[in-house]
Amino acid sequence: MILEYVWAMPNHLTFKIKPIEEFIRGHLPEGKVLDPFANRRSDFGAITNDLNPEANTDYHMNALDFLKLFPDQSIEGLLFDPPYSLRQVKECYDSIGESLTQRESQRFYSDIKDQISRVLRPGGVCFSFGWSSVGLGMSRGFDKERLLLVCHGGIHNDTIALLERKR
């Protein structure tokens, strides 16, 4: 696995952080790419989704339901940039007048990762972003290829960008 460390200004739009944008562009596959937590239309040609109906995206669904729209092994790439903590997930739901179910509060990330594994074809790539480098994992059939740690300075959490490929 290739490890890289860079410094960059933070941005609430993860893909507007220059080294992260370059990381994606350098490894983005041709073909169908999904972004289930887009916040806005993609600069990468992805099919976009955001729970918030005010977001400028192709769909406005729960990410799990959005991923269920796609057949098994039909996607070449996926941008997985969810809220980085359950507190942030709750804030997203609360902001549109929804609430998390008990199952979502217990299995939010694992249920979505299972769907990502289902829709990505062998050889497909998943870009994961957050505060953890766990990614989708070997148990779901993924190998880690690159990890980019983006430092944002002393008062900001780093952003971890991980590229995994499905076996």
Residue appearing with tokens 């929804």:
98
Res 99: pLDDT? 74
51-82 pLDDT, tens per residue?
999 999 999 999 999 999 999 999 999 999 99
Mean pLDDT of the chain: 92
**What's residue 97's pLDDT?**
72
Q: Which helix (H) or strand (E) holds 112?
A: helix 102-119
Mean pLDDT across the stretch 130-149?
96
Query: What are 23-34's pLDDT values in tens digits?
Result: 999 999 999 999
Q: Given this model, what pLDDT does residue 91 score?
A: 79
Of the chain, the percentage scoring pLDDT greater than 70 comes to: 98
Q: In the predicted model, is pLDDT for residue 151 greater than 80?
A: yes
**Which pLDDT score, from 0 to 100, does residue 95 have?**
75
**Does the pLDDT value for residue 40 go beyond 70?**
yes
pLDDT digits (tens, 9 = 90+) for 79-134: 999 987 777 777 776 777 777 777 777 787 899 999 999 999 999 999 999 999 99
Question: How do 120-130 and 75-80 pair as beta strands?
Answer: parallel
CA–CA distances in Å: residue 26 to residues 29, 74, 104, 110, 163? 9, 22, 33, 27, 11
Query: How high is the pLDDT of residue 93?
Result: 64
Query: Tokens 């002393």 sit at which residue?
Result: 154
Distance, CA of 55 to CA of 66 (rounded, Å): 15
Cα–Cα distances (Å) from 81 to 112, 129, 152, 154, in that order, read 12, 5, 17, 22
